[in-house]
Amino acid sequence: MRPMSNVRSSPPELYSEAEAAAALGISIGRLHQLLDQYVFTGDNKRPQSIDFTSSDLLILGYWNNLSAQPAASKVIPMPKRG
């Protein structure tokens, strides 16, 4: 098995807001929009500072791309509870 010679370093375990926005190719303002739209809804207010994992970036990237896609999505949204 050939070693992965192109890997320079492992990705960080946690990303700051600035690092997350840069990794997603969006502004911090857009990152805040996504968080406010999908995560911190209702009485849950967004904290001043948030750290993200690589899994968080995956879902944030999905949500960011969702607005750029046509209305007919292949993902079926789950109904809201209670």
pTM listed for this prediction: 0.69
Q: Alpha-carbon Rg of the chain, whole angstroms?
A: 16
Residue 61: CB atoms within 10 Å: 16
The predicted pLDDT at position 8 comes to 64
Q: Per-residue pLDDT tens for 7-64?
A: 566 667 899 999 999 999 999 999 999 999 999 988 889 999 999 999 999 999 999 9
pLDDT interval class at 2 (50, 70, 90): low
**Ramachandran region of residue 77, left (φ > 0), alpha (ψ -120 to 50) or beta?**
beta
